[in-house]
């Protein structure tokens, strides 16, 4: 049985933890709104980019000579995985969910005897993966210093990928991130960016009215555009990720605050009970002492 003093101390400590989680929840809520706005603002760019690429790839007839970034190297031996996570913890299952998704993909690659290479973006992902997959991690990037997510950072990651591709260091590249659905739900995503997966569920090509004029020719535009597209996809993933992170943290901190409240209630009851018990005990002692006189 803990003493009264211990109980009192515990109650205060839980209460101050509750204050922290509550503050974190409110901060996350404020950041979430901004992150969501940013994600929405960034959407037109990646949508338009996709459209242009779709139109371009439709008009390419000579698949043999098409840029390798679009159609792939023809092999599937080396897989490069970009795992995008947060730099900070205390956000519920956010990081763990991405890692879980990525790990199952890793296992598949390894069991098929293919080569695996990993790039982690964000320090939490690196921390969780280094225990098991240290030898596969080729690069670890973190943008702790940048306050906001900006295109410049995404471009850096994109350039690394392109560079590796040009050196023939991988055949297939996939990115892992959390897609923001709503505050409570974030869906871990796996997206292949090299070679570019053509969306098969696209609405039928609306006739052949997209007879574009190209200047310079299609190939040159495509080879210029595809590297940009990779950066854009990464940027999109980073934006989604940051919105998810804040949403996830908000929910986690909300739960923590509620749990702390319950704990305080329970501890207060226990405290009051043992205080009452102590009083009763003293009374009995006094009374029985008086009786024996």
Partner 1 sequence: MSNLFNIDIVNPEQSFLSKDNVFEVVIPAVEGEIGILKDHIPIISFLKPGIIRVFSESEEQSFYVEDGIVEFKDNTLSVLTSSIFDLKNADKNFVSESISSAEAELSKDNIDDQKRFLLNHKVEVLKSISIN
Beta carbon nearer to partner 1, 5 or 215: 215
- Interacting stretch for partner 1, rule CB under 8 A, among 24-32, 78-86, 92-100, 214-222? 214-222
Pattern 111-150, binding to partner 1, x per CB under 8 A? Answer: ---------------------------------------x
Please tell me the distance from the alpha carbon of residue 207 to that of residue 20, in angstroms, as a whole number.
Answer: 59
Task: Tell the smallest beta-carbon distance from residue 156 to partner 1 (Å).
Answer: 13
According to CB under 8 A, which one of 21, 97, 186, 232 is a site residue for partner 1?
232
Q: Is 81 considered catalytic here?
A: no
Beta carbon nearer to partner 1, 38 or 192: 38
Nearest partner of 229 among 188, 197, 201, judged by Cα: 197
Contact 46, 236 (CB under 8 A): yes
Nearest partner of 53 among 32, 69, 72, 29, judged by Cα: 69
Asked if 38 touches partner 1 (CB under 8 A), the answer is yes
Q: Which phi and psi angles does 112 have, rounded to 5°? A: -90, 10
Task: Tell the smallest beta-carbon distance from residue 31 to partner 1 (Å).
Answer: 16
Task: Tell the smallest beta-carbon distance from residue 227 to partner 1 (Å).
Answer: 11
Asked if 289 touches partner 1 (CB under 8 A), the answer is no
Please tell me the distance from the alpha carbon of residue 131 to that of residue 145, in angstroms, as a whole number.
Answer: 25
Asked if 204 touches partner 1 (CB under 8 A), the answer is no
SS (H, E, C) 26-51: HHHHHHHHHHHHHHHHHHHHHHHHHH
What is the strand order of the sheet 78-84 is part of?
A: 137-141, 115-121, 78-84, 172-180, 186-194
Structure tokens given for 218: 């299609």
List, in sequence order, every residue forming a beta bridge with 177; answer none if it has no partner. 189
Asked if 70 touches partner 1 (CB under 8 A), the answer is no
Asked if 202 touches partner 1 (CB under 8 A), the answer is no
Asked if 255 touches partner 1 (CB under 8 A), the answer is no
Asked if 62 touches partner 1 (CB under 8 A), the answer is no
Please tell me the distance from the alpha carbon of residue 238 to that of residue 230, in angstroms, as a whole number.
Answer: 12
List, in sequence order, every residue forming a beta bridge with 222; answer none if it has no partner. none
Asked if 223 touches partner 1 (CB under 8 A), the answer is no
Asked if 210 touches partner 1 (CB under 8 A), the answer is yes
According to CB under 8 A, which one of 201, 202, 211, 291 is a site residue for partner 1?
211
Burial 67-106 (b: 16+ CB within 10 A, else e): bbbbbbbeeeebbbbbbbbbbeeebbebbebbbebbbebb
Asked if 55 touches partner 1 (CB under 8 A), the answer is yes
Beta carbon nearer to partner 1, 6 or 45: 45
Residue 123's alpha-carbon distances to 67, 135, 142, 252, in angstroms, are 33, 17, 6, 20
Q: Under the rule (CB under 8 A), what is the footprint of partner 1?
A: 38, 41-42, 44-46, 48-49, 51-52, 55-56, 150-151, 154-155, 210-216, 221, 224-225, 228, 232, 235
Catalytic positions are: 91
């Amino acid at each position: 049985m803990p003493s009264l003093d211990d109980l009192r101390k515990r109650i205060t400590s839980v209460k101050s933890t509750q204050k922290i989680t509550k503050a974190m929840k409110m901060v996350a809520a404020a950041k979430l709104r901004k992150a969501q706005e940013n994600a929405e603002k960034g959407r037109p760019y990646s949508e338009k980019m996709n459209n242009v690429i779709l139109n371009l790839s439709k008009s390419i007839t000579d698949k043999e000579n098409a840029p390798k970034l679009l159609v792939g190297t023809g092999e599937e031996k080396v897989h490069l995985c970009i795992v995008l996570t947060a730099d900070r913890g205390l956000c519920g299952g956010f990081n763990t969910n991405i890692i879980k998704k990525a790990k199952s993909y890793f296992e598949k690659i390894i069991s098929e005897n293919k080569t695996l290479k990993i790039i982690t973006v964000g320090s939490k992902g690196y921390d969780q993966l280094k225990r098991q997959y240290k030898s596969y991690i080729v690069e670890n990037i973190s943008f702790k210093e940048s306050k906001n997510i900006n295109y410049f950072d995404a471009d850096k990651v994109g350039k690394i990928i392109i560079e590796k591709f040009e050196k023939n260091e991988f055949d297939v590249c996939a990115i892992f991130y959390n897609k923001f659905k709503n505050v409570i739900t974030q869906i871990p995503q796996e997206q292949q960016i090299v070679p570019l997966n053509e969306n098969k569920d696209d609405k039928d090509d609306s006739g052949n009215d997209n007879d574009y004029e190209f200047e310079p020719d299609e190939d040159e535009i495509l080879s210029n555009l595809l590297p940009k597209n990779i950066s854009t996809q990464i940027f999109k993933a980073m934006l989604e990720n940051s919105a998810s992170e804040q949403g996830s943290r908000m929910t986690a901190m909300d739960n923590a605050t509620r749990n702390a409240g319950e704990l305080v209630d329970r501890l207060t009851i226990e405290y009051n009970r043992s205080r009452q018990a102590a009083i009763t005990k003293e009374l009995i002692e006094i009374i029985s002492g008086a009786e024996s006189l």
